Amino acid sequence: MTECPSPSMLLLHPPSPADFPHPPDTLSGLTAFLSAVVSSPYDESAIFGNGAVQAGAMLTLMERAAADHGTAHCFWRRGLPPPTLRGLMDALSDRPTRLKLSLACNIGDTPDGALPCPAGKGSIVQILWSATDWIPGLGFFKTVSKAGIWNHLLLDGPAAVAANRDAVARQPNIVHSWEATDGDGRKSNTDDGYGKLPALPGRPLRQIVDDPVHRFVLIDRFGKNWLLRSRADKQNDHIVTLGETMTYRFCPPDQLPDGRLDDICAMVAAGGTVAATHVRANLERAFLIAYVLENGIVVANSSLKNPRPQYIDSVRQRSGLDLTGFFERGYTSVRPEYRGLGIGTRLLEGLTARAGDRKIFSVIAEDNEATKIIARRNRTRQVATYTSEKAGKPVGIWMPEWMIDDHEKKRS
pLDDT digits (tens, 9 = 90+) for 194-207: 767 888 989 999 98
Region 333-346: mean pLDDT is 88
Whole-number Å distance between alpha carbons of 333 and 337? 12
Which pLDDT score, from 0 to 100, does residue 294 have? 96
Which pLDDT score, from 0 to 100, does residue 184 have? 58
Whether 228 has a pLDDT exceeding 80, the answer reads yes
Per CATH, the number for 247-411 is 3.40.630.30
Top-confidence residue, 253 or 185: 253
187, 181 in Cβ contact below 8 A? yes
Which pLDDT score, from 0 to 100, does residue 406 have? 44
Whether 308 has a pLDDT exceeding 50, the answer reads yes
Region 402-412: mean pLDDT is 59
Whether 189 has a pLDDT exceeding 70, the answer reads no
Element (H, E) at 225: helix 224-229
Which pLDDT score, from 0 to 100, does residue 344 have? 87
Whether 25 has a pLDDT exceeding 70, the answer reads yes
Considering 79-83, 109-113, 238-242, 334-338, the range whose residues carry the highest mean pLDDT is 238-242
Whether 45 has a pLDDT exceeding 70, the answer reads no
239, 24 in Cβ contact below 8 A? yes
CA-angle at 237, arms to 75 and 222, nearest 5°:
35
Domain ranges in the chain? 2-241, 247-411
Q: What is the mean pLDDT of the chain?
A: 85
Top-confidence residue, 261 or 60: 261
Question: How large is the greatest C-alpha to C-alpha distance in the chain, in angstroms?
Answer: 75
Q: Go through 140-170 and write b for each residue having 16 or more CB atoms within 10 A of its CB, e for each that does not.
A: bbbbbbebbbbbbbbbbeebbeeebbebbbb
316-323 long-range contacts, Cβ below 8 Å, gap at least 24? 318/386, 318/387, 319/384, 319/385, 319/386, 319/397, 320/384, 321/383, 321/384, 321/397, 321/411, 323/361, 323/397
Instruction: Give bridge partners of residue 103 from the DSSP assignment.
Output: 127
Tell me the pLDDT band of 350, cut-offs 50, 70 and 90: very high
Which pLDDT score, from 0 to 100, does residue 8 have? 74
Whether 40 has a pLDDT exceeding 80, the answer reads yes
Whether 66 has a pLDDT exceeding 70, the answer reads yes
Top-confidence residue, 410 or 116: 116
